[in-house]
């Protein structure tokens, strides 16, 4: 079943905030082998001008997916997650995510397209602090394989 294209342009305001923990950044950095002290040691991050440890570039996928998953679970959209593969991913940063940030995600359905038996579903997530400071924009394109 194809995705419902009438969902394009829908905007989902934040439903909760994501508080970035120092230990979560350390855990994520360790999982990807990122040993730069700025990910682990607040003093090293402060030396670069940040108030606490900074996250590796792909860390914002965590709040992005937390905000997006309830949206793609909407049965009206018709997205079968068991047939999904990750197509494209992009981040455009205003600054790195820093421990202590309270992040709010606004999710927009940017594109729904069918081609060659595949459905393409793109979201854009605007991540800002609770004070309204923009931090990063995240685009994620999912590819849904058609039923066999």
Partner 1 sequence: MNVGDQMPERTYQVTRADLVRYAGASGDFNPIHWNERYAVKVGLPGVIAHGMLTMALVGRAVTEWVGRPDAVVDYGVRFTRPVLVPDDDIGTEIAVSAVVRSVTEDGLVQLDITATCAGEKILAQARATVTG
Binding of residue 82 to partner 1 (CB under 8 A):
yes
- For residue 105, the cross-strand partners are 127
CB count, 10 Å around CB of 76?
9
Of the candidate spans 1-9, 12-20, 79-87, 113-121, the one that interacts with partner 1 by CB under 8 A turns out to be: 79-87
Binding of residue 16 to partner 1 (CB under 8 A):
no
Binds partner 1 (CB under 8 A): choice among 17, 36, 78, 120 = 36
Place of tokens 């001008």: 49
d(CA 147, CA 7): 21
Q: What would the x/- binding string for partner 1 be over residues 47 to 76, using CB under 8 A?
A: -x-x---x-xxx--xx--xx----------
CB count, 10 Å around CB of 17?
14
Two tokens, residue 1? 């079943």
Binds partner 1 (CB under 8 A): choice among 16, 92, 102, 146 = 92
d(CA 54, CA 42): 8
Binding of residue 120 to partner 1 (CB under 8 A):
no
d(CA 109, CA 123): 5
Chain positions contacting partner 1, by CB under 8 A: 24, 27-28, 30-34, 36, 38-39, 48, 50, 54, 56-58, 61-62, 65-66, 82-83, 85-93, 95-96, 139
């Amino acid at each position: 079943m194809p995705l419902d294209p009438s969902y394009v342009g829908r905007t989902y305001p934040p439903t909760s905030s994501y508080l970035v923990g120092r230990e979560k950044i350390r855990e994520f950095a360790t999982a990807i082998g990122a040993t730069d002290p700025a990910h682990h040691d607040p003093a090293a991050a402060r030396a670069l001008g940040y108030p606490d440890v900074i996250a590796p570039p792909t860390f914002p996928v965590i709040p992005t997916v937390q905000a997006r998953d309830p949206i793609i679970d909407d049965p009206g959209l018709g997205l079968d997650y068991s047939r999904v593969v990750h197509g494209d991913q992009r981040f455009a940063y205003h600054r790195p995510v820093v421990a202590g940030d309270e992040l709010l995600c606004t999710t927009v359905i940017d594109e729904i397209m069918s081609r060659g038996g595949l459905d393409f579903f793109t979201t854009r997530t605007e991540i800002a602090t609770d004070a309204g400071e923009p931090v990063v924009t995240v685009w994620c394109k999912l590819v849904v394989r058609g039923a066999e």
